[in-house]
Structure 1
Amino acid sequence: MLGLLCSWNIRISRCKQDFRAYYEYDKSLPLNVYEEVIENKSGYIIIKVYFDSVNDERVPGLLVLPKREYKVPCIIFLHGYGGSKDDIRGATELVAREGYAIMAIDAEYHGERKENGKELYSPDINDSVRGIIQTVIDLRRAVDYLETRPEIDIERIGYVGGSMGGILGAIFIGVEPRIKAAALIVAGGNMSLMIRKSQHYTMPAIREYLQKEDITYEDLQKMLDPIDPINFIGYFAPRPIVFHLGKFDRIVPAEAGRQLYEKAGEPKQVYWYDTGHNVPLDLVLARILDFMDRNLLGKSFVYHETLYWMRLYGPLIGMVVGIIVVVAIIYILRRR
């Protein structure tokens, strides 16, 4: 196994201690960008993008640009396991209306990069490590691409990732200095813990392989140190980060989320939801928009979460107020 890892310049902790070096790349590598506008709405456009990354990989992405006369901040997004760059479409209109661009890519073996019989979480540990490192470098190349777009304020780039996108994102933000604020949704660290306890559908095959090959979880952790978010999240400080975690998550075990949060530096914040892996995305989005407004735009007054609660409880509040008014009127009339 060690020989396989080292063959792709992936060495376990005994080979090299500075794991950030695994994510270095030649920044002079041409992007060879292809762009095509695929949607043109009244408030924004969506551009289909392809660009070159390391190892001769061609990365597909989507760039959503709000129609503004000035440079706009941008949020880079990475989807969860089995998802794709198109997962951003559900939030596109709202986020663009708030004045943010969005950049999303397909991770290795996802979306347009999907390959039959291939999984990013796989008993082929060497290939999983390679694919994760590849995807993180691809995200860095996405930032390179954003630097070529005159509409983007490169000094105000944020990151949002959910589940797998949160796990890989914790590595990405630790090695990429151009990210200024980050939100991680149902993410976790301690890779051997996640493989041992996760109920994700890919995990039984990995656990079976470990047992068959007599690989201990201690040995597994050493193999996975170069891709463990625990080893990277601390480098993001002192930039601000927020976590959204499920108290009863069994896909990315809640304990893995807690460990990742504890390893992060200040300033940091965590929201714990009384859910499993499926946290309430409407509320999460509202809180993330408030977080980005404060930390990318420098706003002191934010309102998205307040609007969320008003929409949720507004009718009830209105009914209570109405009852109070009616009771008050009846009381006044009876006293006359």
Structure 2
Amino acid sequence: MKCRLLKLAGILVFSFLFLPSARSQNFNYADSLRFDAKYPLNLRVIKDSTATAVRVQQVEFAVNKRYNASAVITTPLKKGKYPLIIFQPWPGQGDEFIPEAIKFSQHGFVCISIDGPWQWQGFKERSKFFEDYPDFIVHSIWATSRSIDYLEKRPEVNPQKVYYVGHSYGATLGGLLVGVEPRIKAAILMAGLPNISRSMQEDELGFWKKDKEKDPALFNQVVQKLSQMEPEVYLQKSKAKIYHQIAKQDEFVTAKQSREYIEATPEPKQVKYYDTKHTFNQAAATDRFQWLTQIAK
């Protein structure tokens, strides 16, 4: 009898620690956003190459004992002390910012473009974007904080000049990040959402219709988790300079959502609209380069 009880206890402990569905009922996502570095970084260089005057490294590093984040780091070959830019692309566009990162590094920036968790080894084998959306956000924040912890100690990085660029998911994440990461001094948010849970409930464009109809209880559970991590709330805690880039023909973010994100952003802020779709255009990329190089002076 005693052995059976011990075995049952072991199963329950395993479920709580390792199965997200078992631990999510009482897991406070808001409390988890501030990262506490407990685990060795274990950074591993997968590929090391050079572009014009730039070193390009494809790397993996430990976010926690379960997952390794994947990223690309670009560094000027010339010795110096440079500002740092963190890039976060939108789902399905992991290489979106690599050309931009190389250009920035050619002009005196260290850059890291971090893949979304759905692309990490371990996460991508099991993940379903809808169910794992809250965990994606938490792990992305941890990965960003870990990358700053590592890069700010490198001799070529100026830790007083840390900036962030996020697109779509990355822009939504950015509102949270600037509230929990005071090391980020300025951020460019491209087509982000101010309120994740409300956008899912209202669902003006019908993105979550199938998920809501398939399992209403699960849908409400996911929405409840996300309601603890609203970008519009965390933005209020930030002193970072924010630049919103808005696509006029955006297929995924409504004009109302863009307006609410802008209104939730404290000063100083800058806003610019582009005659383009969600993917943005070269004019937006040019403005990002000019804005950050000016701030970094």
Find out whether 1:5 has 2:31 as its counterpart: no
Identity of aligned residues (%): 24
Find out whether 1:148 has 2:158 as its counterpart: no
Taking the TM superposition and a 5 Å limit, the aligned residue runs for 1:111-122 are 115-116=124-125, 118-120=127-129, 122=130
Shift of 1:208: 2.1
Q: Which residue of 2 aligns with 1:68?
A: 78
Q: Which residue of 1 aligns with 2:99?
A: 90
SS, match of residue 262 in structure 1: helix
Shift of 1:148: 3.2
Q: Which residue of 1 aligns with 2:13?
A: none
SS, match of residue 60 in structure 2: strand
Q: Return the alpha-carbon distance in structure 2 between the equivalents of residues 114 and 215 of structure 1.
A: 20
Q: Which residue of 2 aligns with 1:325?
A: none
SS, match of residue 90 in structure 2: coil
Contact 2:194 2:258 in 1 (8 A): yes
Contact 1:188 1:253 in 2 (8 A): no
Change (3 A) 1:156 1:206: same
SS, match of residue 184 in structure 2: coil
Find out whether 1:99 has 2:101 as its counterpart: no
Q: Which residue of 1 aligns with 2:227?
A: 225
Contact 2:241 2:267 in 1 (8 A): yes
Find out whether 1:283 has 2:283 as its counterpart: yes
Instruction: Give me the TM-score of the superposition, normalised by structure 1.
Output: 0.74
Shift of 1:59: 1.3
Q: Return the alpha-carbon distance in structure 1 between the equivalents of residues 293 and 261 of structure 2.
A: 24
Contact 1:167 1:187 in 2 (8 A): yes
Residue of 52, 69, 80 corresponding to 2:62 = 52
Q: Which residue of 2 aligns with 1:265?
A: 266
Contact 2:167 2:190 in 1 (8 A): yes
Shift of 1:296: 2.0
Shift of 1:193: 3.7
SS, match of residue 109 in structure 1: helix
SS, match of residue 226 in structure 1: coil
Contact 1:66 1:96 in 2 (8 A): yes
Instruction: Give me the TM-score of the superposition, normalised by structure 2.
Output: 0.83
Q: Return the alpha-carbon distance in structure 1 between the equivalents of residues 194 and 285 of structure 2.
A: 22
Q: Return the alpha-carbon distance in structure 2 between the equivalents of residues 142 and 93 of structure 1.
A: 18
Residue of 72, 75, 78 corresponding to 2:88 = 78
Shift of 1:254: 2.4
SS, match of residue 92 in structure 2: coil
AA at the equivalent of 2:203: K
Q: Return the alpha-carbon distance in structure 1 between the equivalents of residues 246 and 138 of structure 2.
A: 24
Find out whether 1:110 has 2:119 as its counterpart: yes
Q: Return the alpha-carbon distance in structure 2 between the equivalents of residues 264 and 46 of structure 1.
A: 34
Between structure 1 and structure 2, the one with the greater Rg is 1
Q: Which residue of 2 aligns with 1:234?
A: 236
Q: Return the alpha-carbon distance in structure 2 between the equivalents of residues 56 and 220 of structure 1.
A: 22
Taking the TM superposition and a 5 Å limit, the aligned residue runs for 1:134-173 are 134-173=139-178
SS, match of residue 237 in structure 2: helix
Q: Which runs of 5+ in 1 are unaligned?
A: 12-18, 298-336
Taking the TM superposition and a 5 Å limit, the aligned residue runs for 1:3-42 are 5-7=24-26, 9-10=27-28, 19=30, 21-35=31-45, 38-42=48-52
Shift of 1:113: 5.8
Contact 1:241 1:267 in 2 (8 A): yes
Shift of 1:164: 0.9
